[in-house]
Amino acid sequence: MTTGAAARGLHDGSVAEPARRTPVIAEADVVVAGGGPAGLAAAVSAARHGARTLLVERYGFLGGMGTAGGVTNFAGLYGQRDGTMVQLVRGVVDELLERIDHLGGLNAPQDGLQGRIRVRSYDIPAYKCAADAWLAAAGVTPLLHASVVGVAHDEHDAARLHALLVETKSGRGAIRARWFIDASGDADVAHHAGVPYELGDGHGDALYPSTMFRVGGVDAERALAAVGRFGAIDALMRAAAGRYRFPRDGAVLRPQRNPSEWRVNVTQVANAVGRAVDATDAWQLSAGEAEGRRQVIEYLRFLRAEVPGFERAELIDIGTQLGVRETRRVSGAYQLSGDDVLGGARFADTIGLNAWPIERHAAGRIEWAFARDARNTFNQLPWRMLLPQRASNLLVAGRCASMEHEGQSAARASGACFAMGQAAGTAAALMLRDGLTPHSVVPALQQALRRDGAELGADG
């Protein structure tokens, strides 16, 4: 078998496809690519503000990494304000939380890292069902099982997108819209549109991906006594290191709503040269899936043999796909930096808050860095980080928005992605409705976001 670059070296390395005309299968005011936290919030917000909105998602369900990647946990919603831990990311996300809770799928807030963070875990099926109902209630049209594979530009204006090209079970189709929001996590639309972006850390590495999994049948009381304390699981891993192959130091091991079910965040998947799998490379991604599952089985062996309460643990789920933390980050009008996160940056064009610290998944370890002001652990997110260059009707929201590698290591958490999505969807609808531009929309956008319950921070 000859694959990848080697195959491209054969003959002229390509095959000719017949030219074709692609049918327009839908038209909307706003089309959102991707149904993760950013895409869901964007689509609901655009529809609420009067835009005919369509959301394209490659899987048959919504939730993004939160469901497909097996994340099962909302981080970045809570942070310290004036020394008190409160929910800082609010707005349309509150409706989703209520819907998941109504289905009995949302856990009470849990504190971690010695009280420096607060998260909420959830059940994946409840998230999927709540997201379906949420889009329907807002009047968003979903197109599931549809992958964005290209764009068509306006024939008179190279900076303007005319349509997304999608592949579906019924063939290839074009979806026309007036505004496009790239919430694909991997900046797929931006990539096809030819706008500038960076990949990973810019030096052939990135935040390492992890295959997430959950185990059931845990004796909750004994497990909590053994590994409920900060650092306890890391100590057990160090003691057993000679007997198992651990891909990184330390694990994040937490109970779900049902306390006999625990989520395990411990794998770390590298490519053939030991760098983070590049999830925009089909061959690396493919190999990474099998390697992640191999690590799951190895860690389960450790849990059963070495960790009190896990003796009868059963593997109940492995993420549908490798959990991808970072691929392409668009180079937009402003790139959120690590120092913005640590210094609690304030921006006049704030559209929401990030309340998560820097969580760098580096080779063999996780590196944390916290806001310098421990009493106020959040930073504002500027509107400019949603604005790519060289595209006049495209916004980018979520983990592929315009951020430096260090800034993305924080604002990629779900909380900030919901905030960015709400801002992108609201802005697209307002620009269409009121004839505003990306430059003139900010005051109206901030007003609408506040009215819709979003926290922008005091100075915005």
Residues that bind ligand FAD (CB under 6 A): 33-39, 56-59, 64-66, 68-69, 71, 73-76, 147-148, 183-186, 188, 209-210, 212, 265, 323-325, 398-399, 412-414, 417
Element (H, E) at 430: helix 414-434
Residue number, 292 or 438, with CB nearest to ligand FAD: 292
Q: Which residues contact residue 7 at a Cβ distance below 8 angstroms, ignoring those fewer than 6 apart?
A: 13
Kindly state the smallest distance separating residue 71's Cβ from ligand FAD, in Å. Answer: 4
The answer to whether the beta carbons of residues 213 and 310 sit under 8 Å apart is no
The answer to whether the beta carbons of residues 396 and 341 sit under 8 Å apart is no
Kindly state the smallest distance separating residue 328's Cβ from ligand FAD, in Å. Answer: 11
Kindly state the smallest distance separating residue 356's Cβ from ligand FAD, in Å. Answer: 7
Q: Which residues contact residue 210 at a Cβ distance below 8 angstroms, ignoring those fewer than 6 apart?
A: 265, 266, 267, 268, 269, 292, 322, 323, 325, 361
Kindly state the smallest distance separating residue 427's Cβ from ligand FAD, in Å. Answer: 17
Kindly state the smallest distance separating residue 20's Cβ from ligand FAD, in Å. Answer: 20
Q: What is the DSSP letter of 171?
A: E
For residues 385 and 391, give the distance between their C-alpha atoms in angstroms, rounded to a whole number: 14
Residue number, 65 or 448, with CB nearest to ligand FAD: 65
Residue number, 123 or 188, with CB nearest to ligand FAD: 188
Residue number, 80 or 327, with CB nearest to ligand FAD: 327
Q: Which two tokens stand for residue 351?
A: 């559209």
Residue number, 74 or 246, with CB nearest to ligand FAD: 74
CA-to-CA separations, 444 to 231, 237, 321, 452, in angstroms, rounded:
46, 52, 39, 12
For residues 347 and 334, give the distance between their C-alpha atoms in angstroms, rounded to a whole number: 11
Kindly state the smallest distance separating residue 10's Cβ from ligand FAD, in Å. Answer: 27
Residue number, 48 or 328, with CB nearest to ligand FAD: 328
Kindly state the smallest distance separating residue 41's Cβ from ligand FAD, in Å. Answer: 8
Kindly state the smallest distance separating residue 2's Cβ from ligand FAD, in Å. Answer: 26
For residues 95 and 257, give the distance between their C-alpha atoms in angstroms, rounded to a whole number: 19
Residue number, 73 or 256, with CB nearest to ligand FAD: 73
Kindly state the smallest distance separating residue 73's Cβ from ligand FAD, in Å. Answer: 4
Kindly state the smallest distance separating residue 37's Cβ from ligand FAD, in Å. Answer: 4
Q: Which two tokens stand for residue 421?
A: 């999505």
The answer to whether the beta carbons of residues 176 and 135 sit under 8 Å apart is no
Residue number, 248 or 412, with CB nearest to ligand FAD: 412
Residue number, 59 or 244, with CB nearest to ligand FAD: 59
Residue number, 212 or 277, with CB nearest to ligand FAD: 212
CA-to-CA separations, 343 to 370, 379, 400, in angstroms, rounded:
9, 8, 22
Kindly state the smallest distance separating residue 79's Cβ from ligand FAD, in Å. Answer: 13
CA-to-CA separations, 123 to 76, 101, 255, 256, 257, in angstroms, rounded:
18, 10, 11, 8, 8
Residue number, 65 or 336, with CB nearest to ligand FAD: 65
Pairing relationship of beta strands 24-27 and 171-176 according to DSSP bridges: parallel
* Long-range contacts formed by 86-90: CB under 8 A, 24+ apart: 88/353, 88/355, 88/378, 88/415, 88/455, 89/352, 89/353, 89/355, 89/415, 89/416, 89/418, 89/419, 89/455, 90/453, 90/454, 90/455
For residues 270 and 341, give the distance between their C-alpha atoms in angstroms, rounded to a whole number: 27
Q: Which two tokens stand for residue 43?
A: 């689509």
Kindly state the smallest distance separating residue 13's Cβ from ligand FAD, in Å. Answer: 24
Residue number, 35 or 338, with CB nearest to ligand FAD: 35
Name residue, tokens 């007036």. 178
